[in-house]
């Protein structure tokens, strides 16, 4: 189990729905929405947020720079 947990924030209005982030995510965190943004594109969101490690693969390949990535140590409950 990874000791870190991550999260991504997608700038919904600027996402172009290219799905490159979906392919790039090693832990299948991302999927595309059914609804569309103002530009008419389905946009990326975390369908599986618990699996995010904050590795930034998605943000690095996003051509439009719309993903911001956060990462922290998992809280030990």
Partner 1 sequence: MDLKDIIKPENLVYTKTKNMTDKELSYCPGCGHGTAHMITMEAVEELGITEKTIGVAPVGCSVLAYEFMNVDMQQAAHGRAPAVATALSRVMPEKVIFTYQGDGDLAAIGTAETIHACNRGENIVIIFVNNGIYGMTGGQMAPTTLMGMKSSTSPYGRTAEQNGNPLKMTELVAQLEGTYNVSRHSVHTFKNVKKAKKAIKKAFQDAMDKKGTQFVEIVSNCNSGWKMSPVKSNEWMEEHMFAYYPLGQIKKDGVLVNNSNQN
> Which residues of the chain form contacts with ligand SF4 (CB under 6 A)?
6, 8, 10, 15-21, 24-25, 27, 29-30, 43-44, 52-58, 62, 64, 66-67, 69
Distance CA 46, CA 65 (A): 16
Binding to partner 1 (CB under 8 A) within 5-64 occurs at 5-7, 9, 14, 16-20, 23-24, 41, 49, 54-57, 59-64
Residue 70 interface partner, choices partner 1, ligand SF4, none, CB cut-off 5-8 Å depending on type = partner 1
Residue 74 contacts partner 1 per CB under 8 A: yes
């Amino acid at each position: 189990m990874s000791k870190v947990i991550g999260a991504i924030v997608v700038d919904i209005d600027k996402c172009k729905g290219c799905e490159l982030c979906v392919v790039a995510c090693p832990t299948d965190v991302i999927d595309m929405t059914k609804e569309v943004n103002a530009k008419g594109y389905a946009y990326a969101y975390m369908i599986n947020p618990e699996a995010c490690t904050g590795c930034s693969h998605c943000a690095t390949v996003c051509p439009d720079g719309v993903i911001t990535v956060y990462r922290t140590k998992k809280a030990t409950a």
